[in-house]
Structure 1
Amino acid sequence: MDMSWMQQNLSRRRVLTGATGLAAGALLPPEAVLAATSTYTNPVIWQDFADVDVIRVGDTYYASASTMHYSPGAPVLRSYDLVHWEIAGHSVPVLDFGAKYDLNGARGYVRGIWASSLAYRPSNRTFYWLGQIDFARTYVYTATAVEGPWSRLTTIGTPYYDAGLLVDTDDSLYVAYGNTTISVAQLSPDGRNQVRTQQVFTAPPSVGTLEGSRFYKINGQYYIFLTRPANGQYVLKSSGGPFGPYTMRQVLLDLRGPIPGGGVPHQGGLVQTQSGAWYYLAFVDAYPGGRMPALAPVTWTSDGWPVVQLVDGAWGTSYPSPAVPPPPRQVTPMTGVDTFDGTTLKPRWEWNHNPDDTKWSVGSGLTLRTATVTNDLYWARNTLTHRIQGPSSTATVELDHSAMRDGDRAGLALLRDSSAWIGVKRDGGVSRVVMVTGLTMDTNWNTTGTGYEVASAPVSGGRVRLRATADIRPGAPRPGTFSYSTDGTTFTRLGPAFSMGNDWRFFMGYRFALFNHATQALGGAVRVTRFELSTP
């Protein structure tokens, strides 16, 4: 590994303009340079946050990600060092884009929030989220704080596919978007309308598909950062303005990634630290868990092209930590215990499609009243999901099932297009703890299997603890296992190991999911008094 770039970054940094406003090649004063004192390990987040857009506002970093059919959508993550992240909120409070997102006569699986963009506009101190829905139109949401409230600013008739939003130095708003044919749109000063759009580049046949636009102005030049799914990254550069002309250069191709068995780091975005260093936050395909963010330093050639810094010819499993000021506080861990106190769900949670808000509540636990009569979990409303922590983790829930009614099904699932669960079935006035597998969808996301019971045991009383352990390391055997406890201490394995699927076409990774649905009539309820996500 060439250490010269590290030594340079740990002493004085020559930087390109960006947030710093320094001229290219300028030397930072010694007091502005902070030495990195540790290393970090990739992936920096071993949870499913794909298509990340990353920005810095002052001393705080923010990232946004795709969430498809989960609601609320477009989570906003926050960090003070680019390594430790917390979930701060969601840019899209509800997927109010049609009945299919309510599981009302149709389903929105693998639709919804695709690659989208997060930006900050200093002139009005406002965050902007921009993304297209269903290839039909583009939505813009704004907030003055990432925790919200977020509100819809406008709807634009042009669907900006895989969009990157740029707030230019003169406060103009531009959007780069498209698949293979890349276009740039200019928005009105208030961000509500499209003023102009123009095709600026077409990917050569030798490269093929390019998408996932991220749009930057650095040192007076315009850059559109593009991914070749799922193994490459390219960049376009223009010195003639946001509408080009652009020239292209390869950033990476078939680069070994930091997750054994995982894919090539790609997509994501560039961000500059307070001291002038640049980083690339990409994602790594690592199914069955999903797409995991990984971070690498970036330097620049003398003629203004980004270069990812490698370790032994690969994206490093570790690098020196970014040199940043001490954080004002520790970020909230993505693992740990939730007792569902307070009046709202914590931002770690997302519903499978929009919930029926009349059928759930929090405060001294999470109450899930049956919201759907169905024998198909994929049609059941108010299924609440939590990302799995890699490389392996365990979810344990305390379930009060005393208010279930005959025909009700409630429990803890490993949820994706092939699913399994452990939970309680109540039939004929009798409750049993069961393991169910064989819940499946086809590639059009229609249900092909509603599941079948493979193991069961009697349960007495009104409470049971359910546990699911998921090993999401890419490659075989990708096991998920289930167990239960009636005393809170001794857990009994139930059923065989479930092999989690690793096909990429569902895009989202497996999640732990809490559910309660009826098969006969509404009226029953369960209460989850505690959820714990732990790692070995």
Structure 2
Amino acid sequence: MSWLEQPHSRRKALSAASGLVVGAALPGTAAAQAAAHTSARNSSAAASYTNPVLWQDFADIDIIRVGNAYYYSASTMHYSPGAPILRSYDLVNWEFAGHSVPVLDFGSKYDLNGAHGYVRGIWASSLAYRPSNRTFYWLGQIDFARTYIYTATAVEGPWNRLTTIGTAYYDAGLLVDTDDTLYVAYGNTTISVAQLSADGRTQVRAQQVFSTPSSVGTLEGSRFYRINGNHYIFLTRPANGQYILKSTSGPFGPYTMRQVLLDLRGPVAGGGVPHQGGLVQTPGGAWYYLAFVDAYPGGRIPVLAPVTWTSDGWPVVQLVDGAWGASYPSPVVPAPPRQVTPMTGVDTFDGTALKPKWEWNHNPDNSRWTVGNGLTLRTATVTDDLYWARNTLTHRIQGPTSTATIQLDHSTMRDGDRAGLALLRDSSAWIGVRRDGGATRVVMVNGLTMDSSWNTTGTGTEMASANVSGGRVWLRANADIRPGAARPGTFSYSTDGTNFVRLGPVFTMGNSWQFFMGYRFALFDYATQALGGSVRVERFELSAP
């Protein structure tokens, strides 16, 4: 993902090479590769999957397989913890497994301490597994300044920082080569390869290996592979194309280039061209390409397609009627050990830690929240601006439409406190509870806005309110994130958890791409006068039709 990323409609459809190809190769002959795909199709004729395989915002995909499990890493920008890892056993059904970056300890701006890190932080990064030491590696550059590597022996963690490297490996792809050497492909337009030391802590060598032709424009988002003795660097042309570099002479090239796809019709109505992402092989030998589609206001969502291979080692995306298919036969994989945890459902915040589906807006103040018997949020910031309020906890929206409902105990709020449920992005709205002069009201607020530098331009306007009594209220937000549609967000409340009353006008969610991250449901509690108050979220439910 890149700050240079442009909507696909704004990029010219320029092609440097003909043919629709993808950059990896199956072991064995082209005939064997085709046979593997034919077998997969025949044995799964009664089963198919639909795209997107997951309608949530998980962009800048890196995907790997370890044994019979697939792991999927994504960007999170200013959300903490960063770099979530999803797990699947069939490439279609995914669950949260953990985060590679436990805290964004890259400067005070990630703590909302005098500055903010909106649209900084975790950009396109890489996840790899090293069999020799049975260790997972995450690698990513921060703030164009330096590169960080974290490691863990299980994706659930704990993850620890291994090293910091002075070179900023932009949009990097990490390769554990067949001889156990670590290489990194990186760059924007000018693509380079670095070799790391055996312990992964330092750079041994770096060399430019490719310069993108001007007729193609920008290439970035490297994914690095060694397959059948060849090295491949899989590159995106944001946000409407995909290219592949191939070397038969080692990781430092020379490389030849082919076009993967350009302005290919995608499977999501109103969405963009499938691009970026990565390639992965099933235990049975079939290969797949997991890309993402720009689908704002919801963000960038994953779509999956099979690939086959040419006789000279260039794979081909399998299309349906000239487009990325809306459905394909399900991958043929070993029986999963269990069902994955659903992406929707109820969370009562039991246990001693937040589940990995949750991410804070910037780093939290860990002294101001607890879980167990609900989520307790104690006010952490005195402000009138939600964008500067610490300890705002976010959850991705499930598309194409979904509803979040919280049960909120507001009995320990103090005068001046604001707490509730938001649709959070650079243009936001919320429903929540205001405590003023000892009186409690439930309110709907919109008009929270940011400029192009992510500075606040509007702190919100109260559009509707109602008096509430007692110490508990249910708040609900519904979001329709279908791209190219009306993009409505609506809010309602209940005093009994059963009968809900609409509050305020329809909020139209923005669909600009520049903020990159999609809308999220957000739980918040901040003070406008003084710290000391708190709320307890007793229950969160995400439901989809």
The verdict on a shared fold, with TM-score over 0.5 as the criterion, is yes
1:169 paired to 2:178: yes
Residue 4 of structure 1 corresponds to none
Map 1:48-63 to 2 at 5 A: 48-63=57-72
1:136-215 → structure 2 map (5 Å cutoff)? 136-215=145-224
Structure 2 residue aligned with 1:133 = 142
Q: Tell me the residue number matched to 2:55.
A: 46
SS in 1 for 2:175: strand
* 2:348 matched residue in structure 1: 339
Which amino acid in structure 2 is aligned with residue 410 of structure 1?
Answer: A
Q: Distance in 2 between matches of 1:281 and 1:51?
A: 10
Aligned to 1:416: 425
For residue 227 of structure 2, what is the aligned residue in structure 1? 218
Q: Which has the higher contact order (CA 8 A, sep 6+)?
A: 2
Aligned equivalent of 1:232:
241
Is 1:522 the counterpart of 2:528? The answer is no
1:512 to partner: Cα distance: 0.1
1:126-185: CA deviation from partner (whole Å, max 9, x where unpaired): 000000000000000000000000000000000000000000000000000000000000
One of 131, 154, 168 as aligned partner of 1:122: 131
- What displacement does 1:28 show? 11
The amino acid of 2:516's aligned partner reads F
Residue type of the alignment partner of 1:196: R
Matches within 5 A, 1:299-338: 299-338=308-347
Match of 1:506 among 515, 534, 537: 515
Shift of 1:300: 1.0
Which residue identity is paired with 1:444? S
Work out which of the residue numbers 279, 284, 304 in structure 1 matches 2:293.
284
- Find the aligned partners of 2:390 and 2:402 in 1 and give their Cα distance: 26
For residues 433 and 210 of structure 1, what CA distance do their matches in structure 2 show? 49
The structural deviation recorded for 1:26 is 4.6
Residues 412 and 423, structure 1, Cα contact 8 Å, conserved in 2: yes
Alignment pair present for 1:472 and 2:474:
no
| Partners of 1:281 and 1:97 in 2: CA distance | 30
Provide the residue aligned with 1:77 in structure 2: 86
Describe the shift of the 1:24–1:255 C-alpha distance in structure 2 as closer, same or farther (beyond 3 A). Answer: closer
The whole-number CA distance in structure 2 between the counterparts of 1:311 and 1:25 is 21
Preserved CA contact (<8 Å) 2:25 2:315: no
Partner of 1:403: 412
The 2-side partners of 1:487 and 1:28 are apart by: 59
For 2:370 and 2:189, locate their aligned partners in 1 and report how far apart those are by CA, in whole Å: 45
Residue-by-residue CA offset, 1:484-514 (whole Å, 9 max, x unaligned): 0001110000000000000000000000000
Q: CA deviation at 1:27?
A: 7.4
CA contact (8 A) 1:131 1:139 kept: yes
2:282 is matched with which residue? 273
Q: Distance in 2 between matches of 1:413 and 1:110?
A: 19
- Residues 191-235 of structure 1, C-alpha deviation per residue, up to 9 Å, x if partnerless? 000000000001000000000000001110000000000000000
In structure 2, distance between residues paired with 1:172 and 1:26 = 29
* Correspondence 1:428 to 2:433: no
Task: Give the AA of the match of 2:294.
Answer: D
Which letter maps to 1:532?
E
Q: Distance in 2 between matches of 1:27 and 1:515?
A: 52
CA distance in 2, matches of 1:365, 1:167: 42
Question: Paired residue for 1:457, among 466, 471, 479?
Answer: 466
Amino acid at match of 1:46: W
CA distance in 1, matches of 2:25, 2:520: 40
**Are 1:368 and 2:377 counterparts?**
yes
Residue 267 of structure 2 is aligned to residue 251 of structure 1: no
CA separation in 2, counterparts of 1:28 and 1:326? 23
Q: C-alpha displacement at 1:477, in angstroms?
A: 1.5
| 1:306 CA drift (Å) | 1.6
Q: After the TM superposition, which residues 10-29 of structure 1 pair with which residues of structure 2 at under 5 Å, given as runs?
A: 26=32
How many residues get paired? 518
Alpha-carbon separation, structure 2, partners of 1:475 and 1:438: 22
How far is the alpha carbon of 1:105 from its aligned partner? 0.4
Q: Which secondary structure does the structure 2 equivalent of 1:431 belong to?
A: strand
Contact 1:392-1:470 at 8 Å conserved across structures: yes
Task: Letter of the 2:180 partner, please give it.
Answer: D
Query: Which SS does the other structure have where 1:162 is aligned?
Result: coil
Structure 2 distance, partners of 1:89, 1:468, is 26
The answer as to 2:391 corresponding to 1:391 is no
- RMSD across aligned C-alpha pairs, in angstroms? 1.4
C-alpha contact 2:33 2:308 (8 A) present in aligned 1: no
Distance across 1 between alignment mates of 2:185 and 2:287: 21
The aligned amino acid for 2:398 is: Q
What letter corresponds to residue 519 of structure 2 in structure 1? Y
Asked whether the 8 Å contact 1:17–1:24 carries over to 2, the reply is no
Report the Cα offset of residue 475 of structure 1: 1.7
Counterpart in the other structure of 1:3: none
- Aligned counterparts of 2:29 and 2:95: Cα–Cα separation in 1: 33
Aligned to 2:504: 495
Gaps of 5+ in 2: 1-23
Deviation at 1:17, TM superposition (A): 6.7
> Is 1:380 aligned to residue 389 of structure 2?
yes
Instruction: Answer whether contact 2:368 2:379 (CA < 8 A) is retained.
Output: yes
Residue 476 of structure 1: how far off its partner (Å)? 3.5
CA distance in 2, matches of 1:502, 1:356: 31
For 2:395, give the aligned amino acid: H
1:388 partner letter: I
TM superposition score normalised by structure 1: 0.95
> Partners of 1:527 and 1:448 in 2: how far apart?
30
Aligned residue number for residue 484 of structure 1? 493
Shift of 1:70: 0.2
Kept after mapping to 2: 8 A contact 1:69/1:110: yes
> What amino acid does structure 2 have at the position aligned with 1:91?
S
Please name the residue that 1:6 is paired with.
none
User: Secondary structure, in 3 states, of the residue corresponding to 2:61?
Assistant: strand
Contact 1:33–1:275 (CA<8 Å) still a contact in 2?
no
SS of residue matched to 2:387 = helix
The separation in 1 between residues aligned to 2:35 and 2:189, in whole angstroms, is: 43
Structure 2 Cα separation of the partners of residues 136 and 290 of structure 1: 26
- 3-state SS of the aligned residue for 1:50? coil
CA distance in 1, matches of 2:124, 2:30: 31
What is the CA–CA distance in structure 2 between the aligned matches of 1:33 and 1:147, rounded to whole Å? 34
Give a deviation string over 1:221-266, Cα, whole Å, max 9, x none: 0000000000000000000100000000000000011110000000
Is the Cα–Cα contact under 8 Å of residues 432 and 475 in structure 2 kept in the other structure?
yes
Letter in 1 for 2:47: S
Select the residue among 515, 533, 536 that pairs with 2:542.
533
Equivalent AA in structure 1 for residue 238 of structure 2: P
Kindly provide the amino acid, as one letter, of the partner of residue 95 in structure 1: L
Q: 2:299 and 2:230 mapped to 1: Cα distance?
A: 34
Deviation readout 1:54-94 (Å, 9 max, x if unpaired):
00001000010000000000000000000000010000000
Q: Which amino acid letter does the alignment assign opposite residue 49 of structure 2?
A: Y
Task: Give the distance between the partners of 2:25 and 2:508, measured in 1 at CA.
Answer: 49
